[in-house]
Structures are given as C-alpha cells and as structure tokens.
C-alpha cells in the first residue's frame, strides 16, 4: 500500500512579519514551504493538528488517490 505523500512531513510554527505566524512544512526530498498567514500561534498549531489528522485519515482510506468528480473535464 502506498503512503500519503505528506505522511512523513514535519511541521514547524514560524513567526512572520507583522506579528503573524506561518507553518513551515518539510517533506522528505523536497524543499520546505511555508503556509501563511495565521493571526496567532495557536491558530497555526490548530492547522497543523487538523492537517495531520486529514493526512492520516486520507492515507488510511486511500482517498487521496481518487480523482475528484467533475474536475479535469474538457
């Protein structure tokens, strides 16, 4: 069984300019990217928890392999 591409990702809350926060997402063998912007550190942490849960759920169900209905139609 294949694993979700983000199953091995690591997440780190980082401060941004103006007092906001971002989440640095690092996936093995890829360059890190930053998801922004969150008003509070707690909001960034909540996003991390939600994302980890979604990745675990989709990975277990194999859901991320399925093409969404209605997309890519010409």
The predicted-structure confidence for 19-70, as pLDDT tens digits, reads as follows 999 999 999 999 999 999 999 999 999 999 999 998 888 766 555 545 555 5
The predicted-structure confidence for 5-18, as pLDDT tens digits, reads as follows 788 899 999 999 99
Tell me the C-alpha distance between 30 and 4, whole Å.
15
DSSP, residue by residue, 16-66 = -GGG-EEEEEE-TTS--EEEEEESSHHHHHHHHHHHHHHHHHHHHHTGGGS
In a domain, 5, yes or no: no
In a domain, 2, yes or no: no
In a domain, 68, yes or no: no
Number of domains the chain contains = 1
In a domain, 16, yes or no: yes
pLDDT of the residue at 74: 45
In a domain, 32, yes or no: yes
Token pair of 47, please?
């996003």
In a domain, 73, yes or no: no
In a domain, 51, yes or no: yes
In a domain, 69, yes or no: no
Domain range for 52:
10-61
């Amino acid at each position: 069984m294949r694993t979700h591409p983000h199953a091995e990702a690591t997440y780190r809350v980082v401060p941004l300019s103006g007092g906001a926060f971002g989440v640095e997402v690092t996936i093995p063998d890829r360059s890190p990217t930053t998801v922004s912007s969150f008003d509070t550190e707690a909001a960034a942490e909540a996003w991390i928890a939600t994302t980890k849960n979604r990745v675990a759920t989709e990975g277990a169900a194999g859901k991320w392999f399925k093409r969404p209905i209605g997309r890519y139609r010409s």
